[in-house]
A and B are shown apart, each in its own frame.
Chain A
Amino acid sequence: MKRKLLLFFLFILLAFSFTGCKGFEVGVNEQTASYSDRMAIPEDGIVSADVFKDLKETKQVVTFEGESKGIKYEWTVFGSEITEPKDCNLLVTIIKTSESAYIFNFASEEDFGFTPLLSIYSGDNNEGKVASLLEVRGNESAYLSDVYLTGTNSEILNVSYDSQVGTYIIEISDEEEAIKMASADSNENESVNEPANEQKASSNSESITESKTESKTDSEAYKPDEYLSKSTSSSSKVITGTGKSGESADAPAGRVLSDGSRTDKDQYLTDPVPFGKPQPVEPENQVVNKGKALSCTFSIECTTILNNLENLNPDKLDVVPANGIIFSAQTVTFYEGESVFDVLSRVCSENNIHIEYSWTPMYNSVYIEGMNNLYEFDCGQGSGWMYKVDGWYPNYGCSRYVLTNGETVEWRYTCDYGSDIGGHYAMGE
């Protein structure tokens, strides 16, 4: 017995002497660390509920570092604000669309349940400039809040808000120019309700009129042609234009991006394409270069149905995958000049995924009626398939969207006209 006890103690002693007790201290250090609170965001972006539980209990302020296409960003999370710790995906996709505008959205549209601060390291000298946060709503944008500029050259853009749904823009403008624009803007009130604009913004006409005649409030809607160009905030801050009329924003080779200047629908009833987003390419004008293979990330999922099973056609229960994933995100190759539809039909064909579509001349595009035997209206009146490319739900058909290398295409099933997947604006509401 004595010998066994001796051996046991010897074992413990050896284990501790070998590790220097470090392995057993991790938990303690994490709890008591007062500043080492900078963590790298994991590759999949998901920070576990356990981490947030620790932050909540210790009321720590922690910064999570990430990078999107060479743009560094950070989340500062305040432990005291966490109410219900849960897994949170902290990945953000950030695209610099011009010298003074950033578009970004979130990998997950689930609310964190707390309000962290997002800091984007622009790398630019923004001294003497002001910035605003706008929410993209289809062809409109709405002012949400000021963006605080910090750092030696005001290069860090800080925004704090509690929604991760949708696409956002940070617009940087010259402070003096902003004041001038505000002044000019107030003198141009009468020119606001031009016929074309009225037609375009019928559902928002009231708020638009108000916005031009009265002091504006948060979440106002703006007219399409004023996208990023004439919006004002409650603090009289003016968002100046990023794209000059007739110019396109920085675009990959061969792609034409919207400069935000168009105000009316095109011949196929497509609403104006938001600034910085690719213009549709008519299928008859598409030229496929089979000599050049490109790649994109592609996925098909219907996870929203899992939250709306009560609305699902009972006959379709068997075709809904248990996890909602029909085709998990993976890299697929395609030829230069191919559209989202081209890639979708190939992916479905190669992976034996059912697909049904119809050609809609009015929109000059195919319409995806069903995939994996899940059709529009199968899960409520507002249900159907939508597609998202690099965080944006295009407001035109998938056969008019020509892909470029490295883009991320997500086909998602909505049960509520897109609002449950952050794509309500693409429905033209």
Chain B
Amino acid sequence: MDSKKKKTIIAISVTAVLAITVGLIILILNRNSQTAKVGKFFTGPAVFIEIPDKMDKKDRSEFELGVFVTKLGKDIYPAASFSISFDPSKLEFLGLEEGNVLILDSDTPAGENLPEWNVDVETSNKTGLINVMYLDISGKDKGFSQEKLYDKDNSLFYLKFKLRGSVREKEMYEISFKDAVFACEDDSKSLSMLSKKLKTKDSFVMILDN
């Protein structure tokens, strides 16, 4: 082996060792940073409603609260439903906006599609309970799957609200899950709030103290 080749091999080896060392350091730093940042909430499947910034009681503009999912199980969930309560005397529910979580859909070229959520806005405002539901009626496994979730920002849908004139300064209005389910054909594998296999985290709207 001539000296040129030797030098090249040594140079590449040194470079590789350096790169691996740098990579390891970055990974360790990154891991520590994540440990410190993330709370215990993220350890299992969970859904939660985004908490909005404090609002002025005079603000009558529409605002959206994302409903997010952190992770799912290994199965496919062809149905999902969420019952979310709010105070209809303080907040007006205006409807849903689609999120970015997709369902599996073998009928599309990409093999994925947006879920069609069902909700009755009028009834929700009468009862103070928003029932949102998705159901795969095709029987073709068009369901939710972990593989369609990203690391962050897994929004199922957005709830659109508006403050009513009755809101008061410094008050707090809860928007909370009464039920949440990702259903499997085999019910024992379903994730649900009531069976405690799906964590939930509620939200609230706080009114500014002017």
Contacts and interface: CB of A to CB of B under 8 A. Distances in A.
Interface stretch (A19-27, A188-196, A368-376, A384-392): A19-27
Contacts of A151: 176, 202
B54 A78 contact: yes
Interface in B1-40: 8, 11-12, 15-16, 18-20, 22-24, 26-27, 29-30, 33, 35-40
Given A26-B33, A61-B53, A160-B170, A36 B176 contact: no
A38 B37 CA distance: 7
A111 to B, nearest CB: 16
A79 B51 CA distance: 12
A32 to B, nearest CB: 8
B119 interface: no
A42 B38 CA distance: 11
A39 B66 contact: no
B165 interface: no
Nearest to B209: A115
Given A34-B66, A65-B41, A80-B54, A150 B174 contact: yes
B152 A36 contact: yes
B182 interface: no
A10 B42 CA distance: 37
Given A39-B38, A145-B170, A158-B172, A19 B153 contact: no
Contacts of A65: 39-41
A61 B176 CA distance: 17
A42 B36 contact: yes
Nearest to A8: B15
A281 interface: no
A33 B153 contact: yes
Contacts of B42: 36, 38
Nearest to A72: B40
A323 interface: no
Contacts of B103: none
Given A10-B12, A22-B30, 6 more contacts: A23-B23, A35-B50, A35-B68, A40-B37, A115-B209, A150-B176
A413 B29 CA distance: 39
19 contacts: A3-B11, A7-B12, A14-B15, A18-B19, A19-B23, A19-B30, A22-B30, A23-B29, A24-B26, A30-B37, A36-B42, A36-B152, A38-B41, A38-B42, A39-B36, A59-B53, A63-B39, A148-B174, A150-B202
B191 interface: no
A152 B172 contact: no
A288 interface: no
Given A34-B50, A38-B42, A65-B40, A23 B26 contact: yes
A352 B35 CA distance: 40
Given A15-B23, A18-B20, A35 B152 contact: yes
Interface string A66-84: 0000000000101111000
B40 A40 contact: yes
Interface residues of B, number: 44
8 closest A-B pairs by CB: A23-B26, A14-B19, A18-B23, A38-B39, A65-B39, A148-B172, A150-B174, A15-B19
B111 interface: no
A10 B18 CA distance: 11
Contacts of A150: 172, 174, 176, 202, 204
Interface in B113-156: 152-153, 155
Nearest to B35: A40
B41 A23 contact: no
B153 A34 contact: yes
A160 B11 contact: no
A34 B52 CA distance: 11
B19 A61 contact: no
Interface string B171-210: 0101010100000000000000000000000101010010
Contacts of B66: 34-35
Contacts of B152: 29, 33-36
Nearest to A62: B51
B80 to A, nearest CB: 18
A30 B30 CA distance: 12
B11 A7 contact: yes
A11 B51 CA distance: 43
Interface string A93-130: 00000000000000000000001010000000000000
B48 interface: yes
Contacts of A63: 39, 51
Interface in A21-57: 22-24, 26, 29-30, 33-36, 38-40, 42
Contacts of B23: 14-15, 18-19, 23
Nearest to A76: B51
A38 B170 contact: no
B86 to A, nearest CB: 12
A145 B168 CA distance: 14
